[in-house]
Chain A
């Protein structure tokens, strides 16, 4: 059994009476439970979730290979990002930008060189805000453009899966 972190999106649940979204990690709940594992998430900006998972290495590899899932390259919040190569750092920065943060905000909060930060620094920044959802019936879409909401803290997620 191993512990690691993923970034994934929320998906639309089909066949529900009201517009419903769920963290894509729930697609792996059965596999994780077969390992006697667990997962917990925090919703962040841009329809993304940051998820901590405890599962077998085989299950974690399966999740990492699924479309839309990014496995973070280190596993513990106090792990430094110093050993990451340029491509891995670029991937992390790009994911923050996909969420809705811009370079100026990332640089202001984390500095221009992410490799001197820890995984915890990165994830706590990513979980600094989210937006309240609403349903656009005309487009049949869940839209995330409401008031800014507080995210469940990364440290709570960390404590929920040991």
Chain B
């Protein structure tokens, strides 16, 4: 299945904004954290504080995807995280799924897919090794009970791992930056677009023989 199937939601090309808003963003996802902001036409963390997160509050999605470009990575082990199916953001009942990447120049077991129940994280499956570099893109897809983490490098999207969990079926999408260095840009996502005929967008359909 092709990834992504949806267009950009926010390219952040506007005047600086703090916190990020523009009628479409809310935050934070976690009580007590900072919200993201717009700085120099990119999505940025605050200048101090450890955790910065916001969610696209214009719509909730079921089978969905989220992705962003990473123009600047953080320091070692600084996380860049994508969220799907967020419910009760900012509350003690926060539920969601997270694709979390801790930046490492020589990565080893630096990434995890989590399920969050009532603000408690459960790692799904094994730790992952994701070799993220600046100017690449990260993505996360939640299709039915299938959760798939993606990395865009060398000009193509590639699945990094898939997990299966059916606990949560819909919610908001969002993003998070740890500490104050990393940046995100070109945030996209939404409901997975299925091409006519029931095949997901981008999937080649077999050609029938016509007599």
Name B's interface SS.
Answer: loop
Query: Which of B67-75, B119-127, B135-143, B180-188 interfaces with chain A?
Result: B119-127
Q: Which of A38-46, A68-76, A93-101 lies at the interface?
A: A38-46
Say if the beta carbon of B109 comes within 8 Å of chain A. yes
Is B50 in contact with chain A by the CB < 8 A criterion?
Answer: yes
For A135, give its contact among B119, B123, B164, B166 (CB under 8 Å): B119
Query: Is the beta-carbon distance between A41 and B125 smaller than 8 angstroms?
Result: yes
Q: Mark B63-95, 1 if CB is under 8 A from A, else 0.
A: 000000000000000000000000000000000
Convert A1-28 into 0s and 1s, putting 1 for each residue whose CB lies closer than 8 angstroms to a CB of B. Answer: 0000000001001001111111101100
Which B residues from 101 to 133 make CB contacts under 8 A with A? 109, 114, 117-123, 125-127
Asked if residues A152 and B50 are in contact (CB atoms below 8 Å), the reply is: no
Residues from chain B with Cβ under 8 Å of A39 in the complex: 125-126
Please choose the segment from A59-67, A81-89, A115-123, A142-150 that sits at the chain B interface, where 4 or more of its residues have CB less than 8 A away: A142-150
A30 near B109 with CB under 8 A, answer yes
Complex: how many Å from CA A39 to CA B119? 26
Question: Shortest CB–CB separation between residue B89 and chain A, in angstroms?
Answer: 14
Q: Which one of B30, B118, B121, B126 contacts A21 once the chains associate, using CB atoms below 8 Å?
A: B121
Mark out the residues of chain B between 16 and 41 whose CB falls within 8 Å of any chain A CB in the assembled complex.
30
Tell me the count of chain A residues lying within 8 A, CB to CB, of chain B: 31
A13 contacts across to B, CB distance below 8 A:
121, 123
Q: Give the distance in Å from the alpha carbon of A160 to the alpha carbon of B173 in the complex.
A: 27
Q: Are B118 and A16 in contact (CB under 8 A)?
A: no
Quick check: B117 and A19 within 8 Å, CB to CB? no
A132 interface hit (Cβ, 8 Å) = yes
Of A17, A19, A20, A23, the contact of B50 (CB 8 Å cutoff): A17
Instruction: Give Cα A1 to B192, complex, Å.
Output: 38
Kindly identify, within residues 144 to 185 of chain B, every residue whose CB is under 8 Å from any CB belonging to chain A: 145, 164-167
The docked-state distance in angstroms from the alpha carbon of A10 to that of B114 is 14
Given A13-B123, A40-B125, A41-B125, residue A146 in contact with residue B118 (CB < 8 A) = yes
Judge if B51 is at the interface, Cβ distance under 8 Å.
yes
Residue of B nearest to A23 (CB): B123
Docked CA distance A23–B145 (Å):
19
Residues of B within 8 A of A21 (CB): 120-123
A53 to chain B, nearest CB (A): 11
Contact partner of A133 (CB less than 8 A), chosen from B109, B117, B125, is B117
Interface assignment of A134: CB less than 8 Å from any CB of chain B: yes
| Nearest chain A residue, comparing its CB with the CB of B167 | A149
Closest to A28 in B: B126
| Interface CB pairs A-B, < 8 A, 19 | A16-B121, A17-B50, A17-B51, A18-B119, A18-B120, A19-B120, A19-B121, A20-B114, A21-B121, A21-B122, A26-B123, A26-B126, A29-B109, A29-B126, A38-B126, A39-B126, A43-B122, A132-B118, A150-B167
Query: Residues on A close to B: CB < 8 A?
Result: 10, 13, 16-23, 25-26, 29-30, 32, 38-41, 43, 132-135, 142, 146, 149-150, 152, 156, 160
Given contacts A20-B114, A146-B117, 8 further A-B contacts (CB under 8 A): A16-B121, A20-B121, A30-B109, A132-B118, A133-B118, A134-B117, A134-B120, A160-B164
